[in-house]
């Protein structure tokens, strides 16, 4: 074995997390840094302020290394995972020529027409971070998705189709070198070591887009299990080997294992963000009451929501806090209030809306793939909620499970390092050694029946009733 520890970096939409694992996937220590609020100078424009992506990862890394009890010389390497669907503009020296576009920025999905005269490279957030850590203009192919980049999803390399290149309008010389997940992208420079606290010279290993890395870190999933990834963007995925190019109810994404693919359903934009939004609305009083009892805001409110019956006594939430581009008039909706409803009802209704929305979208994906689910695996911070796990099991009508101990994108990044550096001979062996057992939640049949009736009779048709009035109000309140 070349060493004893592996670092996994998970640069997310709301925070950056750096975790040190041992070779069996156990968490040794970690650090986390919340991102600064996004800059939104006008409608449709969402940017990261300053150099926040790099600075937050460095801050989280310094926290982790300050808590690290071992010998830094025993760190095998670092697996780098960052937010997908972002666009960064780099000068010739690798510094930013313009603010990094968030995945919520509508320009990030349009042909390249901006970035400034100093822009020498156009890349993803992972391409930018790779240069910051290694000094090399390289990126994982698996974070360059066809809806944003001129990539050939069969070869995992830049397309040589003139029509594709012309559509995206990114000169070939502005595109960085592509690598496969598990390739060594370079080594931590002295400057990056000083900023992050990581040892100089350790290998930086390419991974994939954040959802694919999270899927890997959640363990090997077979064709009868779906992963529900709870984040600012909520998605569901099943693994596959075929590059399906014209699906209707899902899209084909690169997996974190070279040559493999993930089938990903339609998701929820600003999914878990909606919960944070609601908690923020409740203000300092809730935060103080929770702190007095040694609880987080989520834990405090979950105790109230746990006593609410399935269906939240008719209170239903529609999660359009960020409208889809093809229906820009849509807004978030809560319908069905009466005198019974408390803040616990509202909280539970948001949880139920997430589960019910993903149930419909997973069902559509599985029907097109011709598969039936036997279980779901839930990952992300929301998986720590026993109430949320029970709601998922009840809504889907199959067992829901979550990883015990550390998991997710940081562990997925560590698994890539373990393969790249020879700790384990292949991905399957690394997954078997480094992912943990899961805690499972069985569905309550009575609650499943309530959710099925609620969904089939009312919930899945709510937008048909609300779209008209929201569309009429859109010119007034847009």
- Nearest partner of 354 among 272, 265, 285, 453, judged by Cα: 272
- Three-state SS for the chain is CCCCEEEEEEECCCEEEEEEEECCCCEEEEEEEECCCCECCCCCCCECCCCHHHHHHHHHHHHHHHHCCCCHHHEEEEEEECCCCCEEEECCCCCEEEEEECCCCHHHHCCCCCCCCCCCEEECHHHHHHHHHHCCCEEEHHHCCCCCCCEECCCCEECCCHHHHHHHCCCHHHCCEEECCCCEEEECCHHHHHHHCCCCCCEEEECCCHHHHHHHHCCCCCCCEEEEECCCCEEEEEEECCCCCCCCCEEEEECCCCCCEEEEECCECCHHHHHHHHHHHHHHHHHHHHHHCCCCHHHHHHHHHHCCCCCHHHCEEECCCCCCCCCCCCCCEEECCCCCCCHHHHHHHHHHHHHHHHHHHHHHHHHHHCCCCCEEEEECHHHHCHHHHHHHHHHHCCCEEEECCCCCHHHHHHHHHHHHCCCCCCHHHHHHHHCCCEEEECCCHHHHHHHHHHHHHCHHHHHHHHHHHHHHHHHHHC
Q: For each of the chain's 478 residues, which pLDDT tens digit applies?
A: 468 999 999 998 889 999 999 999 999 999 999 999 999 998 889 999 999 999 999 999 999 999 999 999 999 999 999 999 999 999 999 999 999 999 999 999 999 987 788 999 999 999 999 999 999 999 999 999 999 999 999 999 999 999 999 999 999 999 999 999 999 999 999 999 999 999 999 999 999 999 899 889 888 667 788 899 998 889 899 988 899 999 999 999 999 999 999 999 999 988 999 999 999 999 999 999 999 999 999 999 999 999 999 999 999 999 999 898 889 999 999 999 999 999 999 999 999 999 999 999 999 999 999 998 889 999 888 989 999 999 999 999 999 998 776 668 999 999 999 999 999 999 999 999 998 878 999 999 999 999 999 999 999 999 999 999 999 999 999 8
Is the backbone of residue 30 left (phi > 0), alpha (psi -120 to 50) or beta? beta
**Those residues with Cβ within 8 angstroms of residue 374's Cβ, 6 or more apart along the chain or in another chain:** 224, 225, 398
Rounded Cα–Cα distance for residues 198 and 201 (Å): 9
pLDDT in the model for residue 25: 94
Q: In Å, what is the CA distance from 146 to each residue of 105, 151, 287, 434, 467?
A: 17, 6, 42, 31, 30
Least Cα distance to 46 among 104, 89, 97, 90 occurs for: 104
What's the whole-model pTM score? 0.84
Position 231 scores a pLDDT of 85
Partners of 161 in the β-ladder: none
Widest CA span in the chain: 65
Residue 47: strand pairing partners? 39, 101
Give pLDDT, residue 115.
Answer: 76
Res 399: pLDDT:
94
Do the strands 235-240 and 225-229 form a parallel or antiparallel pair, or are they unpaired?
antiparallel
**Which tokens go with 144?**
């360059």
All residues at 6 or more sequence positions from 162 whose CB lies less than 8 Å from its CB, including other chains: none
The CA distance from 412 to 403, in Å, is 13
The CA distance from 218 to 229, in Å, is: 10
Residue with tokens 């992208």: 185
pLDDT by residue (tens digit) across 185-237?
Answer: 999 999 999 999 999 999 999 999 998 998 898 886 677 888 999 988 898 99
Residue 1, pLDDT score: 47
Over residues 418-437, the pLDDT tens digits come to 999 999 999 999 999 998 87
Q: Report the C-alpha gap between 83 and 60 in whole angstroms.
A: 16
Q: How far is CA 403 from CA 229, 378, 379, 406, 419, in A?
A: 12, 8, 7, 7, 21
Please state, in angstroms and as integers, the Cα–Cα distance from residue 346 to each residue in 291, 342, 463, 478, following that order.
21, 7, 19, 25
Q: Which of these, 131, 87, 93, 90, lies nearest to 109 by C-alpha position?
A: 87
Q: Check: CB of residue 417 under 8 Å from CB of residue 377.
A: no
Instruction: Find out whether 136 and 238 touch, Cβ atoms under 8 Å.
Output: no
Angle subtended at Cα 219 by Cα 213 and Cα 222, rounded to the nearest 5 degrees: 105
- What tokens appear for 277 in the block? 């939004």
Q: pLDDT digit string (tens) for 267-293?
A: 998 899 999 999 999 999 999 999 999
The residues, any chain, with a CB within 8 Å of residue 69's CB and separated by 6 or more, are 28, 29
pLDDT at 192: 98
Whether residue 139 contacts residue 177, with contact meaning beta carbons closer than 8 Å, is answered with yes
pLDDT in tens, 248-263: 999 999 999 999 999 9
How many other C-beta atoms are found inside a 10 Å radius of the C-beta of residue 281?
10
């Amino acid at each position: 074995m070349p060493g004893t520890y592996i670092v996994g970096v998970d640069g997310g939409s709301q925070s950056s997390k750096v975790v040190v694992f041992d070779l069996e996937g156990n968490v040794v220590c970690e650090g986390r840094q919340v991102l600064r609020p996004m800059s939104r100078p006008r409608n449709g424009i969402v940017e990261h302020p300053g150099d926040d992506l790099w600075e937050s990862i460095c801050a989280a890394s310094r926290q982790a290394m300050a808590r690290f009890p071992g010998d830094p010389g025993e760190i095998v390497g670092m697996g780098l995972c960052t937010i997908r669907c972002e666009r960064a503009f780099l000068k010739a020296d690798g510094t930013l020529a313009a603010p990094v576009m968030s995945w919520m920025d509508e320009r990030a999905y349009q042909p390249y027409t901006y970035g400034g005269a100093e822009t020498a490279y156009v890349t993803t957030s992972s391409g930018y971070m790779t240069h910051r850590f290694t000094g090399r203009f390289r990126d994982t192919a698996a974070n360059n998705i066809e809806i944003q980049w001129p990539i050939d999803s069969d070869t995992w390399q830049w397309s040589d189709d003139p029509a594709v290149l012309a559509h995206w309008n990114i000169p070939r010389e502005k595109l960085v070198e592509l690598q496969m997940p598990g390739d060594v992208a370079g080594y931590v420079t002295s400057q990056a070591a000083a900023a992050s606290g990581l040892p100089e010279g350790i290998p930086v290993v390419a991974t994939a887009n954040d959802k694919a890395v999270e899927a890997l870190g959640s363990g090997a999933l077979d064709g009868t299990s779906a992963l529900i990834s709870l984040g600012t963007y909520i998605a569901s995925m099943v693994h596959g080997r075929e590059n399906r190019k014209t699906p209707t109810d899902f899209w084909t994404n690169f997996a974190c294992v070279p040559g493999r693919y993930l089938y990903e359903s339609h998701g929820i934009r600003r999914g878990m963000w909606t919960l944070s939004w609601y908690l923020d609305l409740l203000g300092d009083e809730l935060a103080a009451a929770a702190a007095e009892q040694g609880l987080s805001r989520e834990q405090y409110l979950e105790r109230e929501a746990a006593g609410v019956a399935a269906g939240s006594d008719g209170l239903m939430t529609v999660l359009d806090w960020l409208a889809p581009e093809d229906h820009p008039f849509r807004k978030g909706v809560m319908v069905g209030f009466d005198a019974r409803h408390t803040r616990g009802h509202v909280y539970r209704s948001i949880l139920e809306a997430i589960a019910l929305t993903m149930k419909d979208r997973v069902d559509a994906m599985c029907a097109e793939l011709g598969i039936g689910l036997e279980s779901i695996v839930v990952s992300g911070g929301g998986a720590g909620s026993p109430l949320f796990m029970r709601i998922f099991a009840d809504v889907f009508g199959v067992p829901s499970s979550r990883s015990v101990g550390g998991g997710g994108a940081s562990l997925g990044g560590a698994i890539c390092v373990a393969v790249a550096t020879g700790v384990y001979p292949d991905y399957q062996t690394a997954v078997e050694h480094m992912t943990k057992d899961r805690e499972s939640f069985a569905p309550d049949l009575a609650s499943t029946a309530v959710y099925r009736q609620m969904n089939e009779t009312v919930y899945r048709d709510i937008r048909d009733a609300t779209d008209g009035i929201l569309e009429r109000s859109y010119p007034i309140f847009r």
